[in-house]
């Protein structure tokens, strides 16, 4: 982690906090700090779920345009893969993740939020991919993750126009999963993340691997992946404990160890 990105742990929930006032611009250093925070959160067994949060006023309003503007084709060709992979490190984090979005989530900010499993959005938030207004396109997953969330037609509309999407529309098209008052965003995200503390960590990891891996191929490949992950869980303590608890006490009463 660096000056503008921190990883805080409380009650089994990790919070990757962006703190680069005034708008959490995602320059090269912040991008690499996000990569480091994601890797640390994934490796820390005390963390069962992760929140990505930009603070009470803004999630992230995009890349650092002053840093990008003078870059040449050669410069960006050398940087583009690292930019994308720094965000993918969050997408690959093998634990439940939630973006707590206040204010603006634009450009790279929206791309970062789409690397999370779900998005809890303030009722006054604005989301969008306005790169077209700069003469470029999204470069950290925006065209790909957005189209998978809202469909190709909506994704093209948002990227073609660069328009802002309000919270109500975001919820309607599937870009947001829950809309709450701005003051409640972080608390709602922590409530969602907290339900996985004490959960079956290996099974949660398998859910994420199955869903995300299945989206990368055809149905037959996805079903084969699911079968392999399903069978592998029969090597875990949680499977033994969970099924024995069901037999002895009924559903929902198992105590899991995460092993």
Tell me which residues are annotated as active site: 111, 131
52 SS3 class: strand
Give the C-alpha separation, 101 to 108, whole Å: 13
CATH class of 5-194: alpha beta
Please state which architecture CATH assigns to domain 201-249: Orthogonal Bundle (1.10)
Low-confidence ranges of the chain (pLDDT < 70): 1
Name 226's Cβ contacts closer than 8 Å, sequence gap at least 6.
Answer: 210, 214
pLDDT at res. 259: 92
Q: Is 41 exposed, middle or buried (0-12, 13-18, 19+ CB in 10 A)?
A: buried
Q: Which residues contact 244 (CB under 8 A, 6 or more apart)?
A: none
pLDDT value at position 157? 98
The two structure tokens encoding residue 9: 């742990």
- Give me the residue spans of the domains in the chain: 5-194, 201-249
Instruction: Name the nearest CA neighbour of 116 among 161, 45, 64, 59.
Output: 59
Burial 98-137 (b: 16+ CB within 10 A, else e): bbbbbbbbbbbbbbbbbbbbbbbbbeebbbbbbbeeeeee
- Inter-helix orientation angle 237-249/201-214, to 10°: 110
For the entire predicted model, the pTM comes to 0.95
pLDDT value, residue 2: 78
Max CA separation in the chain (angstroms) = 66
């Amino acid at each position: 982690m660096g000056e503008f990105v921190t990883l805080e742990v409380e009650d089994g929930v990790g919070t990757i906090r962006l703190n680069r006032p005034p708008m959490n611009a995602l320059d090269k250093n912040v991008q690499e700090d996000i990569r480091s925070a994601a890797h640390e959160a994934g490796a820390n067994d005390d963390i069962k779920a992760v929140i990505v949060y930009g603070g009470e006023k803004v999630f992230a309003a995009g890349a650092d345009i002053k840093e990008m503007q003078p870059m040449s084709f050669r410069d960006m060709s050398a940087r583009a893969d690292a930019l994308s992979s720094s965000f993918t490190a969050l997408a690959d984090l093998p634990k439940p993740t939630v973006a707590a979005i206040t204010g603006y989530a634009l450009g790279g900010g929206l791309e970062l939020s789409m690397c999370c499993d779900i998005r809890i959005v303030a009722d006054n938030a604005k989301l969008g991919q306005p790169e077209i207004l700069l003469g470029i396109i999204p470069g950290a997953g925006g065209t790909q993750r957005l189209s998978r969330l809202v469909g190709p037609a909506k994704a093209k509309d948002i990227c073609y126009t660069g328009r802002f999407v309000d919270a109500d529309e975001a919820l309607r098209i599937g870009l947001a999963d829950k809309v709450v008052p701005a003051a409640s965003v972080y608390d709602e995200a922590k409530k969602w993340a907290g339900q996985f503390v004490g959960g079956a960590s290996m099974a949660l990891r398998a859910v994420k691997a199955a869903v995300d891996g299945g989206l990368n191929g055809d149905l037959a490949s996805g079903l084969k992946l699911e079968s392999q992950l399903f069978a592998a869980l029969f090597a875990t303590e949680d499977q033994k404990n969970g099924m024995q608890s069901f037999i002895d006490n009924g559903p929902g009463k198992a105590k899991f160890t995460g092993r």
